[in-house]
Structure 1
Amino acid sequence: MITSRAFAGRRYAVLGLARSGLATVEALVASGAGVTAWDDREEARDEAMALGADIGNPLEIDLIGFAGVVVSPGVPLNRHPIAAHAREAHVPVIGDVELFAEARAELPPHKVVGITGTNGKSTVTALVTHMFESAGIPTLMGGNIGLPILSRDPLAPNENGVGVYVLELSSYQIDLSHSLACDVALLTNLTPDHLDRYDGFAGYAASKARLFSLQHRDQVAIVAVDDDPSKIIAGRINHRLFRVSGKDVDPVDQMRWPALQGPHNAQNAVCAIAVCRVLGLNDEQIEAGLATYKALPHRMELVGEVAGVRWYNDSKATNAASAAPALAAFPPAPDQRLHWIAGGQAKGDGLSACRPWFGHVKRAYLIGEAMDGFAAEIGDAIPVDRSGDLATAVARAAAVAEPGDIVLLSPACASFDQFKSFEERGDRFRAIVKAFGA
Structure 2
Amino acid sequence: MTQKKRNEDIGNRGGGRSVLFRNGTMDFLAGWLLGYSQQGGLSPGALLHCYSLIRDGDPRSWVSVFAQAGEEAADRAEQAGAAARNREVAREWSAAQIAFRAALEMCDPRTSEAADLTGRMRHAFEAYLAASGVPLIGWDVEFRDSYFPAYVTPSVQRAEQLLVIVGGGDTYVEDLWFFGGKAAIERGWPVLLADYPGQGDTPSRGLHFGEQTIDGMRQVVDDIREQGFHGELVMLGWSGGGIFATRFAATARSTDRVSALVASTPIYDPGTFFRRTLPDVVQGGPDSVLVRAALGIARRNRVLRTSLDRYDWQFGAGGISTIADRFDELKVDLSTWRLPVLALVGLGEDSESLRQAQGVIKQAQVHHPSSELVTFDPWTGAQAHCQVGNLPLALAQVFDWLEAPVLAQERAAS
Q: TM (normalized to structure 1)?
A: 0.33
Q: Which has the higher helix share?
A: 2
Q: Which has the higher strand share?
A: 1
Which is greater in Rg? 1
Q: TM (normalized to structure 2)?
A: 0.35
